[in-house]
Amino acid sequence: MDTKKLNFDTKLIHAGHYDEPFGSATVPIYQTSTFAFKSAEHGAQCFDNNKKGYIYTRINNPTIEALENNLAELENGYAGIATASGMGACTSIYMALLGKDAHFLSTSSVYGPSRSVMENHFNRFGVSSDFIDTSDIELVKKSIRPDTHILFIETPSNPTIQLTDIEACAQIAHDNGAILVVDNTFSSPCLQNPLDMGADVVFHSLTKFINGHADAVGGIIITKTKELYDKIRPLMISMGCNMDPHQAYLILRGVKTLGLRMERSQQNAKRIAQWLESHPKVEWIKYPGLGSYTQKDLMKKQMRGPGAMMSFELKGGIEAGAKLMNNVKVATLAVSLGGVETLIQHPASMTHSGLPKEIREKAGISDGLVRYSVGIEDINDLLKDLEEAFDKI
Ligand code: LCS
């Protein structure tokens, strides 16, 4: 079956699966560290990069490969590289494409560790970096340098829900001899395909919307070209950032319902955002599906929907926010996002606490900002949960 011709929801279920020898309807878990060769000659052939053959699970594995092929097709890329986590994907990209004296340019409000690993560790190897407001395209043009190797954007960004114009950034990166890497975790391929807009590499924390069930941690890198794939994959293998087959199985199971989950999460998110926007105790709210969202045109240009992530601040700042987080019962007070269950968390003291306060503030992560990831529960239960918790503030 040529799955490339299928529609998105069908691709979620069928894309990238190989012909399983026993006809298993799902991709089996090849829980093995190594693969027996049929002969010495076959073993040698498997080590020839141009021939197909399984060797050792850190290098390749049929369950992991099925997930890589599925996601590469969903992102319209050349091929996928599955990793142990989203950070495994992020750091594999950094390690493969940056070196001494390279410059790295990125969004100021990227996921905390994507920034701190650059500023606290890659700087030790002679990589310089700047983190700027990439939603300001003129600033991106001014900040890119002849030695910039990677322009790295996260859109929407975590947790500020700020968008960056992917097409414009691809143009700027390419005009300056750099490549554009996009962290597409917040949208998933259901809502946004950066490679189609000129990006060279896209990556995801699979822990989030793609798996969707808060029961696995994983990452994926998808490149547009064979050249980039051939640079990143061997490095990922050598660093041992590989995924485990059982993890791949769970994520393959999760991805099948991505379309359905995203549809329901977005429906819920729109209702909740409207409710929050009209509530007198809310100081501000940022959600791409609201009329008040300042980047609505860009959202419509590059996304197929507003997603299910929002951030807001209560009047009364962090004290009021803490009361809300301590009083919700249906929503779980936890980091992570993009699952079937609604999660609430406080970035300044949790996901982004590794960044100094002045950097957080410059990036728009105020101390009172509360992040809310909307799940697929019944909307009436979610609204009632918020109403009851708001009454206690
Ligand atoms: N990129 C984004 C946008 C993320 O939100 C995360 C994790 C990562 C990369 C890293 O992925 P991981 O290694 O965790 O699979 N974000 C988290 C968050 O907001 N709360 O907990 C984890």
3-state secondary structure 335-361: CCCCCCCCEEECCCCCCCCCCCHHHHH
Cβ contact 171:124 at 8 Å:
no
**Where on the phi/psi map is residue 361: left (φ > 0), alpha (ψ -120 to 50), or beta?**
alpha
Distance 218 CA to ligand 1 centre (A): 10
Q: What b/e sequence results for 248-286 when a residue is b if at least 16 CB atoms lie within 10 Å of its CB, and e otherwise?
A: bbbbbbbbbbbbebbbbbbbbbbbbbebbbeeeebeebb
Residue 337 pLDDT: 97
Report how far residue 72's alpha carbon sits from residue 70's, in angstroms, rounded to the nearest whole number.
6
Q: Catalytic: which of 11, 94, 115, 208?
A: 208
Give the helix ranges, DSSP H, for 98-179.
112-120, 137-143, 166-175
Residue 241 pLDDT: 97
Report how far residue 81's alpha carbon sits from residue 271's, in angstroms, rounded to the nearest whole number.
36
- Report the residue among 92, 114, 158 best suited for mutation to probe ligand 1: largest number of ligand atoms under 8 A from its CB: 158
The predicted model scores a pTM of: 0.97
DSSP sequence for 160-181: T-----HHHHHHHHHHTT-EEE
For residue 362, indicate whether it is catalytic.
no
Taking 50 as the pLDDT cut, the residues of the chain under it are: none
Max CA pair span of the chain: 73
CA 151 to chain centre: 16
Does residue 109 line the site of ligand 1, with CB under 6 A? no
- pLDDT tens digit string along 92-108? 999 999 999 999 999 99
Residue 237 pLDDT: 97
Distance 53 CA to ligand 1 centre (A): 33
Q: Return all residues near 38 (Cβ < 8 A) that are at least 6 apart.
A: none
C-alpha gyration radius of the chain:
21
Catalogue all structural domains in the chain, each as residue range(s) with its CATH number. 3-30+61-255 (3.40.640.10), 258-391 (3.90.1150.10)
Residue 52 pLDDT: 79
Bond preceding residue 194 cis, omega within 30 of 0: no
For residue 111, indicate whether it is catalytic.
yes
For residue 58, indicate whether it is catalytic.
yes
Residue 50 pLDDT: 67
Does residue 335 line the site of ligand 1, with CB under 6 A? yes
CA 310 to chain centre: 15
Q: What residue has token string 């769970």?
A: 250
- Report the residue among 111, 186, 310 best suited for mutation to probe ligand 1: largest number of ligand atoms under 8 A from its CB: 111
Residue 379 pLDDT: 98
Q: Where are the beta strands (DSSP E) in the chain?
A: 79-83, 103-107, 128-132, 148-154, 179-183, 201-205, 219-223, 282-286, 309-314, 332-333, 343-345, 369-373
Task: Single out the residue of 172, 175, 127, 176 nearest to residue 153, CA to CA.
Answer: 172
- Report the residue among 206, 207, 213, 372 best suited for mutation to probe ligand 1: largest number of ligand atoms under 8 A from its CB: 207
* Amino acid in position 207: T
Task: Single out the residue of 193, 216, 223 nearest to residue 96, CA to CA.
Answer: 223
| Alpha-carbon distances of 179 from 87, 93, 124, 147, 380, rounded to whole Å | 19, 11, 22, 12, 45
* Amino acid in position 288: P
Residue 307 pLDDT: 98
Start-to-end C-alpha separation, the chain? 56
Residue 351 pLDDT: 86
